[in-house]
Chains A and B, each alone.
Chain A
């Protein structure tokens, strides 16, 4: 079982290759979309690379859930994620920092849940 630091190093290499960013940009708190410039298609590339570098399988939607806040599910109201929506996020994304997001659950900030640290925690749980 590698340490969290070792996992972060490998995740960093993965993101440098997938997103063309510098390795010092890949900090645990960096957001994939906002800070590292990832686009939706990059998530698939990242999943492929993580599977290879850690020799694990990542089923669709487990690391990067899709349709996180679909309007018709009652998870969003007035541009904010509702309490039910936050519950859904906690369930779907146990490795994300949902509590920080919950303080100001503006829908436009939802992509900030995808951070480097989230990937590291996801991988660490997988390797246990």
Chain B
């Protein structure tokens, strides 16, 4: 299993905001233990998905010159569950972006239902720093290969429905 806790970006407005989708599936093995007979998406993995959404938003803002690592979650509130069959939407807004790091606020929703909200702080590591070249990739919110798989679509206005990705099909998923 790869450490990808978002499936796709559906909106991406460089330096401002990004929205991604996480489809919760009963095929995810951890849901069978969390909890037996009551499968719900673990809150920690929702934080990871929110951090990946916000971390890529921050990383892209600096042209991916830095490794963006999750440094701190000053605030997170869970309002309800996300169960198999639910489509989580993570909406991230870039609050701060500077040389040392940045911060985002992220809302997680399923349809009209609010599931979680968080503030996340990231630190930047230089990509050529030999001291950190062997850091376990699980610690990284952003990796180039993650971006390749997600094929980020960019919308000029960020408005839903105007998004088109590199293959021209991504926009169809936007409602």
Contact = CB atoms under 8 A, between A and B. Distances in A.
Whether chains A and B associate is yes
A122 interface: no
B99 A44 contact: no
Contacts of B37: none
B79 interface: no
A48 B121 contact: yes
B72 interface: yes
Interface in A18-57: 18, 41-42, 44-45, 48, 51
Interface string B97-114: 011110100000000000
A44 B124 CA distance: 11
Q: Report the interface size class on chain A.
A: under 10
B74 A17 contact: yes
B76 to A, nearest CB: 12
A128 interface: no
Contacts of B74: 17-18, 45
A60 interface: yes
A48 B99 contact: no
A44 B95 contact: no
B99 A41 contact: no
Contact of A41 (B75, B95, B96, B121): B121
A22 to B, nearest CB: 16
A46 B103 CA distance: 11
16 contacts: A17-B74, A17-B75, A18-B74, A41-B71, A41-B72, A41-B121, A42-B72, A44-B71, A44-B121, A44-B123, A45-B74, A48-B95, A48-B121, A60-B98, A60-B99, A60-B100
Given A17-B75, A44-B121, A48-B121, 14 more contacts: A18-B74, A41-B72, A41-B121, A41-B123, A44-B101, A45-B72, A45-B74, A45-B103, A45-B121, A48-B95, A48-B96, A51-B96, A60-B98, A60-B99
Interface of A: 17-18, 41-42, 44-45, 48, 51, 60
Interface of B: 71-72, 74-75, 95-96, 98-101, 103, 121, 123
List of 4 A-B pairs having minimum Cβ-Cβ separation, nearest first: A41-B71, A48-B96, A45-B121, A44-B101
